[in-house]
Amino acid sequence: MTAPAAPMARTPDSAGPAPVAVIMGSDSDLPTMQPAVEILERLGVACEVRVLSAHRTPKEMVAFAEGAAARGLKVVIAGAGGAAHLPGMVASLTLLPVIGVPVASRALSGVDSLHSIVQMPAGIPVATVAIGNGTNAGLLAAQILALADGALAERLAAYRRGLHEQVVAKDGRLQALGSAAYLAAMGA
Ligand code: RP5
C-alpha cells in the first residue's frame, strides 16, 4: 500500500540542531533512504543526511557516532547493504537509538543486509526495519521523538488517520466496482 501524503506537511523546525541523522554506507543507498528523509520532512522533523561508510570511511564514521549525542542528535537512522556493518558499528559507539535499514543488494536482494543488521549481539541493539523500508525508519524515529513532543504525536496520529481513510476508500471502491473491474483499473 502506498503511504498517503501526510496532511500535515510542513517545513521542518529549523530552531536548534537537527534531531535525526539519516546516514548511509554509499550514495547508491540514497534511493532507499530518501523516503525516510521525506516522511521526516512531512512531519516537520529536521534531519541531516550523510554518506558514511563503515568500511571505506571508518574514521569519519567513528567521529560522527562519537559526537552525535553532543551535537544534539536524538535518533540515528542508518542504511547499508551487503556486509551492512554501518548501523551496528554506529550503535556500538553511541547510546542514541539506532534504526537500521537493510538496503536491497544486487546479489542477494537484501537478505544479506537484513541479517547483517538484525543479528546484533546482546547488549548493542539496532532497531531494524524491513528491507528497503526507509519510510518506516523515518516514522519510527518520529515516534521516538514524539514521546517528548505532543505536537509531533498529533501529526503522527493524523498520518495514521490518513492510512485508515485510504484503506476504507479502497474497500468502498472495490465493493462498488467488483474485483475484476478494480483489478483492471489497477493495471491501467
Ligand atoms: C555498502 O555497500 C553500502 O551501504 C551499499 O549498500 C553497498 C554497495 O556500495 P556501492 O558499491 O554501491 O558504493 O557499504
The string of pLDDT tens digits covering residues 116-166 is: 999 999 999 999 999 999 999 999 999 999 999 999 999 999 999 999 999
Residue nearest to atom 9 of ligand 1 (CA): 26
Residue nearest to atom 2 of ligand 1 (CA): 81
Nearest CA to 35 among 143, 134, 156, 155?
134
C-alpha cell at 41: 520532512
pLDDT at 16: 77
Taking the CA of residue 113 as reference, the ligand 1 atom at the shortest distance is 6
For ligand 1, pick from 23, 24, 29 the residue to mutate: most ligand atoms within 8 Å of CB. Answer: 29
pLDDT tier at 12, thresholds 50, 70, 90: low
- Cβ-in-10-Å burial (0-12, 13-18, 19+) of 97 comes to middle
Q: How far apart are CA 130 and CA 133, in angstroms?
A: 5
What is the bridge-based pairing of β-strands 47-51 and 75-81? unpaired
For 23, 26, 69, 170, the CA distances from 34, given in Å and listed in that order, are 10, 13, 23, 27
The DSSP secondary structure of the chain, one letter per residue, reads: -PPPPPTT--PPP-SSS-SEEEEESSGGGHHHHHHHHHHHHHTT--EEEEE--TTTSHHHHHHHHHHTTTTT--EEEEEEESS--HHHHHHHH-SS-EEEEEEPPTTTTTHHHHHHHH-PPTTS--EE--TT-HHHHHHHHHHHHHTT-HHHHHHHHHHHHHHHHHHHHHHHHHHHH-HHHHHHHHH-
What are 84's strand-pairing partners?
none
pLDDT tier at 14, thresholds 50, 70, 90: low
pLDDT at 9: 42
State pTM to two decimals. 0.92
pLDDT digits (tens, 9 = 90+) for 75-90: 999 999 999 999 999 9
Q: Inform me whether the pLDDT recorded for 111 exceeds 90.
A: yes
Q: How far apart are CA 28 and CA 57, in angstroms?
A: 15
Percent of the chain with pLDDT over 70: 91
| Minimum mean pLDDT range among 13-22, 29-38, 75-84 | 13-22
pLDDT at 13: 53
pLDDT tier at 1, thresholds 50, 70, 90: very low
Taking the CA of residue 55 as reference, the ligand 1 atom at the shortest distance is 14
CA of 64 to the centre of ligand 1 (A): 19
